[in-house]
Amino acid sequence: MIFRCLLLAAIAALGACAATGTKPAEVPAAAATSALDGLQAYDRVFVAGQPTSADLALLKDRGITSVLNLRAPAEMAGIGFDEAAELAALGIDYQSHPVAGGKAFTAELLAAFAEQVAASDGKVLLHCASGARASLVYAAYAVKYRGLDIDTAMRTLEPFGGWPLPMERMIGEHLSVVRSAEVRHAGARSAPANTINGALGRSEFTTCPQ
């Protein structure tokens, strides 16, 4: 009986809306995600994910006069606009240096980015799809060209998921990343060193609990 009454009341309410021409309230559409919302600023360098076409028109307002894109051509084919052409129309310098796979992170890439920053008369936007690759390039740039210690540079990866290391969460300890030579110079010669054979050859590193 109660259900029948509620059903009749609902039908009556709908009939009243139809009679008066009242429309149900519309749910506003979600705003488009902007890469500029998650923009990370480091002195003259901005690190971000893929900007939208609308974002590009706002870059000059932020003082950005140069862009380095780390995405591969196959990735760019699906974004729905020509980033290079739109930036050219805006008078913004555009460089592309595709990074696909760990071996693409090279000394040549880092040197090219450093040259682009040095040549720019404004700020530089460094981007990939999500900001993960771009943040790795910036961290290396910060160590080699800005003099940041490795541990501080590694922490710039945090906004894009590159830090803290998964190991930290699993073992419940905070780790610092330092050069093995620095540890030995400080007298900690017994600290275990680890070796990685990577694209740039044999690298040695040490992780130290904080």
- Domains of the chain, each with CATH number or no CATH: 35-162 (3.90.190.10), 164-210 (no CATH)
What is the residue type of 104?
A: A
The total of other beta-carbon atoms located within 10 Å of residue 87's CB is: 21
Determine the distance from the C-alpha atom of residue 10 to the mean position of all C-alpha atoms in its chain, rounded to a whole number.
Answer: 49
Q: What is the pTM of this model?
A: 0.72
DSSP H or E segment with residue 118:
helix 107-119
The total of other beta-carbon atoms located within 10 Å of residue 137's CB is: 22
What Rg value do the Cα atoms of the chain yield, rounded? 26
Full pLDDT tens readout for the chain, 210 residues: 433 443 334 434 434 434 444 444 444 434 446 778 878 989 899 999 999 999 999 999 999 999 999 999 999 999 999 999 999 999 999 999 999 877 889 999 999 999 999 999 999 999 999 999 999 999 999 999 999 999 999 999 999 999 988 888 899 998 888 777 766 666 655 545 444 333 333 444 455 555
Give bridge partners of residue 47 from the DSSP assignment: 40, 126
